[in-house]
Amino acid sequence: MKERSGHFRLKRCFIDALRGLYWVLKTEWNFRIHLAMACLVVLLGWLFKISYAEWLAVIICSALVIVAEVLNTSLEYLADAVHPHMDRGVGRAKDAAAAGVMIAAVAASVVGAIVFLPRTWDWLTTLIER
């Protein structure tokens, strides 16, 4: 009986997580932008045939940005539920969470530039030489 109970709890965890992912995707414009950029990066990685180490860097950075955005969103919802009126402390917490997303996005952009700019430059110069 315990195995079924454990199996049910695991299934419930996935259902709850997918519901949260759906809600963030449905309501958060910035999340959709970050997700679109992650898809673009995967497409570029496939087209440029990046190395395994570069794939690791790109996937980790993309996941970091998406996780930061989800955590930022969850903090905002929680803060608004706990303290619905304007509050300086809540505002600072929201700003700090947004800063975390920004830091992750800038770091991911730097990694993306390191991985993709040389390949893009080579592709463009080859295209122009033809």
For 35-91, the pLDDT digits (tens) are: 999 999 999 999 999 999 999 999 999 999 999 999 999 999 999 999 989 899 999
Alpha helices by DSSP H, the chain: 2-27, 29-48, 52-82, 88-129
Instruction: Supply φ then ψ for residue 84, to 5 degrees.
Output: -70, -20
pTM attached to this predicted model: 0.85
Contact 117, 41 (CB under 8 A): no
pLDDT of residue 6: 67
Q: Which CATH number fits the domain 29-129, given the four candidates 3.40.309.10, 2.40.37.20, 3.30.1480.10, 1.10.287.3610?
A: 1.10.287.3610
Burial (CB count <10 Å: 0-12, 13-18, 19+), residue 52: exposed
